Chain A
């Protein structure tokens, strides 16, 4: 069965600190896709990244970086030099296309608060 675990419920940091959000997933498929979404207080889910199971290269986009490790079934997200605007709930999600459905299975989210 598919499962995504985000063990950190809430994290609070001071501006300019680096912060890592953890994501551990479970799937029996060898082909799967991992995603991160941001949900600011306005409520709309904003897409951040999509990664397939065959691409283990880490990715960097500005202050954001992602560390994908199949050996530990983890897909962690790091924000460098955090800013107040980074305050949001962040969700990790998995899709393994079981039965032809492209549904996403989400973790419970990590609420990040960046204080000035």
Chain B
């Protein structure tokens, strides 16, 4: 079946521009996660949804970052007034309804954001 898809795959923005990154999770997956991966580093958690409810946004680095999942399926990560330090790969992952404990997260290909 289809995996997690993300668009765009690459985004170049000028400093100060707003950007929107889209994630389509695997059909039927309840949980959706966003991570930020800087060059040469491991992914770092940004936020987590269970259906349409945003249960954890403790990883969002500033109030310029905003995520939504209004219908419990597609999610959008929005970054306002982008800064150079926002340059990274943004990864989306989804997981099925947990059968007990943390289920496996399946990752999309990521969106590489470059802020000039």
Contact = CB atoms under 8 A, between A and B. Distances in A.
Q: Which of under 10, 10 to 19, 20 to 34, or 35 or more describes the interface residues of A?
A: 20 to 34
Given A43-B89, A45-B107, A102 B41 contact: no
B73 interface: no
Interface residues of B, number: 30
Interface stretch (A11-19, A68-76, A106-114): A106-114
Interface string B34-47: 01000011111100
Contacts of A63: none
B48 to A, nearest CB: 6
Nearest to B4: A44
Contact of A44 (B31, B44, B109): B109
Interface of A: 4, 31, 33, 35, 37, 42-47, 50, 52, 91, 93, 95, 97, 99-109
Interface of B: 31, 33, 35, 40-45, 48, 55-56, 58-59, 89, 91, 93, 95, 98, 101-110, 112
